Amino acid sequence: MKTLLTAILFLGVGTLYAQTGSAKMVTWSFASKKINDNTYELRIKAGLNGRYHMYAQDVGVEGPVPTTFSFSANPMVTLEGKVKELGKLIQKHEAVWDGKVNYFEKEVEFVQVVKLKKNIKTSISGSVEFMVCDDKECLPPSEVPFKIALGS
């Protein structure tokens, strides 16, 4: 209970001081890369501004908002496996979360393999939810929509 109250207080203080939200601290780019006939990689890059870090998909503790991807259904596209993280994963004990957390600084790339059911042009859309923090505050979580073209 004490940990939960500390986390709520920590997030509340960050909200009071930071009116910009997590989205202002991350620059996103979205692209696809063909890897064979009907298979593509969705390449989702996050560039972090300033002193902030962004939590991994597996944060390691309860409290911080993990980076989470949601993909809209497209009957012509199937997702293959899970979203992979490419970047320097940092594991560090953070007292406010009472445990070891997993996060990225400066940049990280996420890769999701998808297959088209036919050789057509289509797209996949969705959103990414994330939160950034530094050593003093966390900004409110943000959700960024995306749409990525697929096919030749």
Q: What is the DSSP string of 109-147?
A: EEEEEEEESSS--EEEEEEEEE-EE-SS-BPPPEEEEEE
Tell me the one-letter amino acid at 90: I
Sign of CA dihedral 125, 139, 52, 7: negative
Specify the pLDDT at position 20: 52
- Which residue bears the tokens 């959103």? 127
Taking the model in full, what pTM does it have?
Answer: 0.84
Mean pLDDT by 10 residues, the chain (152 residues): 40 41 91 95 95 96 96 97 97 92 97 95 97 92 97 80
Domain that holds residue 122: 2-150
Specify the pLDDT at position 17: 37
Domain count, the chain: 1
- Domain with residue 110: its CATH number is 2.60.40.1250
